[in-house]
Structure 1
């Protein structure tokens, strides 16, 4: 694989959102990039899958208007965010009559959008609204952070949040954003998410629901863009080992070895650790091996095409002990007319749900939908499919040590939503980490090969952090 006139040959190992972001950024700067992905499709834990002839997602996602880098990157690879994403105001809405609440921000400048939303909110008592107002005011005063991280449940107790507000807003938001129960979730990471939703400008707080499957939304377009820039994309290409070779790197794919000047390691943490440990990078490998994980289940239920929810998506009251596992339901038909009658129900931190037989879980969710929406027919879908990722995200616990992009190995950097950031494992943190990795590679490219050290080039910092 020969270098082009424009610069280094870089191997990007892993075709998830972080790897694709790194590849696009490096190709944009004129480097020759080769992307290796072990699976047969790109996207990693945010990809499209075919189910019953429909392109769905391995997990339903919501983005925020604050995801500036993701939105810019979509445009760079030729995806129009206005067409690809349904933009909705910040909201937490439950089906009418389900015992939940109705909280939706009007399209007014901040902070009036939040003030009016709180004043108009249905299903919250006066003490609930006062508690929410106190919390957001105090969080602003604290600059959305604590000196000493604690579990989210402790944070909520400190600020006298009501039981009802916790049940209807804080707990579901924590589960959706951090995929970690409030009793174990990092308050500082949760506050960072709230900073960019409840505490942000109105446009930044908007909720963006993909109309396209997650593969088409970015990874597929990224591959086309990369190839148009002279790069190469190899799927079904598992990297088995890395080896230092002079000032460069050798990458083993199957029985073959390929030469590169630098490497972006954008695999999941466990695979990254297995590739790093033989190279002597035992500190980072040990850090990654220590991560704990939380599952996410998404249950797809197909009904007659005439079935339509009152909203594109709404929250559900979950109670796993009573067989109610779903936390949010999405009407895919309102996102894509070709998917009329298809509902997607998300279960975050889905340990109890993942332990069930898939058919039993789907049946329980169908009964939950029928009761919550007051539509008995929803108990009997035409077909169902449950997709569970048992390692969907790392458990976002207080004070969790996450590595930066840099390693001690010249020319080798990390990329992934697990790298150091004040965000949890989101698409935005993956994109920013990929961009941070690309920045470190570009800094390395400007150094003399014999004296270069990527840890110095990157400053040893968390280049993927959200600002």
Structure 2
């Protein structure tokens, strides 16, 4: 009989681990406390729209997530740029663009930065100098994790204009925190991996399918077709060591398994894992949390032909705008989402107040929106969208292997070397599944 493994948590990390294990002939039971799968990346229905809980994007360098979609048969559900191009709005219909050429890295961005109209020429030269220095930093250097990105930028000639016009434009979206709050190590990883080391790495991919159709439902189908079991509304209360295996305690039953992938959030993992596993609740609690808020507007008619755009206007609360019309299944009009990372200031703001702020601002940034009636205005909020990716993060993130062989951790909060992203979640799932396979001997207990 094949080995039996429990995967606790049905987010992207848990789904990845479960699919990997099923590929090796392991009998998998996936346990999810909520009534749905997907974790922090899911879709829901609202007034005829299919809405993602948050706007997610990927880059060409997100190779493991893209490979997962290939396995699930949904890789065509990503609109991936042939060449990096980022429209940047400055207000009143004006804008700039950051783009790459077809040249080798790092020269592929030289012309784009030289022409980047969101910054004066003198500040573009500042950016060149800092980018050149950034290329020689090693994101794995523990010393970098003790510093903030903004402190390093300040020591390398950057000012408020370059922070707003370039560095934070990318750092806030990638790390869900301002450069002043971001770990230098993680910022170096983002900028080197995405922008400096490979010419095509930063090409932007935007989901053309709702997240549930892109990876959640296909992963569940993949698992079920290979003999796995999926149980929602099944919170795990405790995990206990039992011989070489484990006993999983639910509300009304116990399940004996040969291995466990713990793919729940860090606080839940620390609560239910055996003390012998070595998880420190206080240490994991210091990872903290950072929110993301999305403002959703459905207009009576189209107001922009841009699939997405960023803004660097110092007075604008808007960060990124995405056209979700086709993805959501809207037949007429236009559905835009404003994605707000590091959104502490908006987390508890009433919807009526957000409407008064963001509708006029969208009309300023997109003049065609002025005077166009809207059918819907609503807000989604993820209070714990990511962990706090500040200095000291690397020392807090646990490795996939625990002190108990056969119990592995998965989740974008673990030590993947990546920020808290879909790519990091997938990589963590692969790591955890690999450890479990080693423990059970390739599929046999």
Q: State the TM-score, normalized to the length of structure 2.
A: 0.92
User: In the alignment, what sits opposite 1:326?
Assistant: 318
User: In the alignment, what sits opposite 1:30?
Assistant: 25
Is the 1:243–1:279 contact (alpha carbons within 8 Å) kept by the matching residues of 2?
Answer: no
Match of 1:291 among 276, 280, 287: 287
1:371-401 Cα deviation digits (max 9, x unpaired): 1222453675221111101111110011222
Aligned to 2:404, what secondary structure does the other structure show? coil
User: In the alignment, what sits opposite 1:300?
Assistant: 296
Is the 1:101–1:124 contact (alpha carbons within 8 Å) kept by the matching residues of 2?
Answer: no
Aligned to 1:66, what secondary structure does the other structure show? coil
More relative contact order, 1 or 2 (CA 8 Å, 6+ apart): 2
Counterparts of 2:173 and 2:256, CA distance in 1: 42
Distance 1:292 1:380, change over 3 A: farther
User: In the alignment, what sits opposite 2:253?
Assistant: 256
User: In the alignment, what sits opposite 1:82?
Assistant: 76
Q: CA deviation at 1:203?
A: 2.6
Is 2:422 the counterpart of 1:427? yes
Aligned to 1:95, what secondary structure does the other structure show? strand
Match of 1:267 among 264, 285, 297: 264
Is the 1:300–1:342 contact (alpha carbons within 8 Å) kept by the matching residues of 2?
Answer: yes
1:197-228 Cα deviation digits (max 9, x unpaired): 21132332211111111121112111111111
User: In the alignment, what sits opposite 2:392?
Assistant: 399
Q: CA deviation at 1:120?
A: 2.8
User: In the alignment, what sits opposite 1:73?
Assistant: 68
Q: CA deviation at 1:96?
A: 5.8
Match of 2:365 among 358, 372, 377: 372
Aligned to 1:258, what secondary structure does the other structure show? strand
Q: State the TM-score, normalized to the length of structure 1.
A: 0.88
Is the 2:325–2:335 contact (alpha carbons within 8 Å) kept by the matching residues of 1?
Answer: yes
Is 2:157 the counterpart of 1:160? yes
Counterparts of 1:390 and 1:380, CA distance in 2: 30
1:278-337 Cα deviation digits (max 9, x unpaired): 534454333212221111001111111x31423111112466xx6x43210001126566
User: In the alignment, what sits opposite 2:344?
Assistant: 351
Is the 1:223–1:233 contact (alpha carbons within 8 Å) kept by the matching residues of 2?
Answer: yes
1:338-391 Cα deviation digits (max 9, x unpaired): 365000001111110112112322331222111122245367522111110111
User: In the alignment, what sits opposite 2:193?
Assistant: 196
1:51-200 equivalent positions in 2, closer than 5 A: 51-79=46-74, 81-87=75-81, 89-95=83-89, 97-98=91-92, 101-143=96-138, 147-149=143-145, 150-200=147-197
The root-mean-square deviation of aligned C-alpha atoms, in Å, is 2.4
User: In the alignment, what sits opposite 1:454?
Assistant: none
Is the 2:89–2:312 contact (alpha carbons within 8 Å) kept by the matching residues of 1?
Answer: no
Gaps of at least 5 residues in structure 1 are 451-467
Aligned to 1:85, what secondary structure does the other structure show? strand
Task: State the aligned residue count.
Answer: 439
